[in-house]
Amino acid sequence: MIILNRIITILVAFVLDQVIKDPPNKYHPVGWMGTFISRLRELTPNRKNLGKFIHGGLVILCGAALFGGAGLCLQLFTDVLSSPMNWLISALLLNFFFTVRGLKTAANEVQKPLISGDLNKARRAASFHMVNRNTDEMNESQIAAAAIESVAENSCDSIVAPLLYYLVAGLPGVIIYRYINTSDSLLGYHDAEREWLGKIPAIIDDVLNLTPARATAALMMIASLHPAYNLRNAMRTWWHDRHQTSSPNAGQTMSIAAGALDLQLEKNGFYILGRRLPQPQAKDIQRSTQLMHIVVAILVGILILAGIMISMNLL
């Protein structure tokens, strides 16, 4: 019964995601997580690598305890509500920790100036909304590739993984996942300051995303059956290129996106997915978000089917 209630909550949350706009960052729980992580980052020991490594572990431990504890309190509160109110309140809370609409909006913010030829604005939008890399010298194809890669990777990080952890562990699970994912996005870099500070957040985030990334890849492969995409090329590119990224997870979805869209996705000096395929253009960003929406539709269908089977005592 718990799983059925969570499935219904997820389905309600999908609807709310399309009609309710996210609040400003200062009122958003993920924004609070970012602020908390930034404050702890300011306390990082200056010199010792071991100290930085331990401090990174404490960032995870303290934040997971704090935000996970808040999630547990919220879960206990919603559990005593009657079913319709439970679904609605839980969905409103869940809506803070996953997004479909927000990902599409971010992609559109990059695509619009790119189509109009305003490269500087597109570069700023890509840097602000989608990627943590220097975009100052990017051309149109590189900006489009960065946006498409972000849509593919965040189909896991912002949609499938949060919902999977909610399904398994309720509000504490999704909140802890989102906190760890945010920690990795802020600390998991190979610069002098964060090389050791971000190791534990990066490792834990990689572990937590092992299953969701592959589940998302499977959904994307199924979505590639749509005649607008190239399933055969998606399978070929995934097979050859999925391990090219430094992350054990990002390449799973990005390689499928490259093949399905018949595009080469490249991050200079790091990887090339779909080598010798055409370079992406601005219009391809929309094709990537359409692929994401097909993934979401398949996921919703699976959840509805599972809910029906549970209600009929078939699962």
Q: What integer pLDDT is reported at residue 314 of this predicted model?
A: 73
Residues 149, 168: Cα–Cα separation, whole Å: 27
Q: What integer pLDDT is reported at residue 315 of this predicted model?
A: 66
Q: What integer pLDDT is reported at residue 269 of this predicted model?
A: 83
Q: What integer pLDDT is reported at residue 132 of this predicted model?
A: 78
pLDDT tens readout for residues 39-71: 999 998 877 899 999 999 999 999 999 999 999
Q: What integer pLDDT is reported at residue 45 of this predicted model?
A: 86
Cα angle for residues 256, 295, 153 (degrees, 5° grid): 50
Is residue 240 exposed (0-12), middle (13-18) or buried (19+ Cβ within 10 Å)?
middle
Alpha helices by DSSP H, listed for the chain, are 2-19, 29-41, 49-79, 83-94, 101-116, 119-129, 140-155, 161-187, 199-223, 231-241, 250-261, 283-311
Backbone angles phi, psi at 133, to 5 degrees: -150, 165
pLDDT tens readout for residues 140-190: 999 999 999 999 999 999 999 999 999 999 999 999 999 999 999 999 888
* Mean pLDDT within 238-266: 96
Residues 283, 216: Cα–Cα separation, whole Å: 23
- Round the average pLDDT of the chain to a whole number and report it: 94
Percent of the chain with pLDDT over 70: 100
Contact 273, 258 (CB under 8 A): yes
Query: Residue 217: is its pLDDT beyond 70?
Result: yes
Tokens 């908390």 identify what position? 36
Which residues are registered as beta bridge partners of 267?
A: 271
In order of 76, 114, 134, 236, the CA distances from 138 in angstroms are 48, 11, 8, 28
Kindly report the number of other CB atoms within 10 A of residue 188's CB atom. 23
CA atoms within 13 A of residue 306's CA, in its CB half-sphere: 17
Mention every residue, 6+ apart, whose C-beta is less than 8 A from residue 234: 220, 221, 224, 256, 257, 259, 260
pLDDT tens readout for residues 76-126: 999 999 889 999 999 999 999 999 999 999 999 999 999 999 999 989 988
Question: Is the entire prediction scored with pTM above 0.85?
Answer: yes
Which residues are registered as beta bridge partners of 273?
A: 265
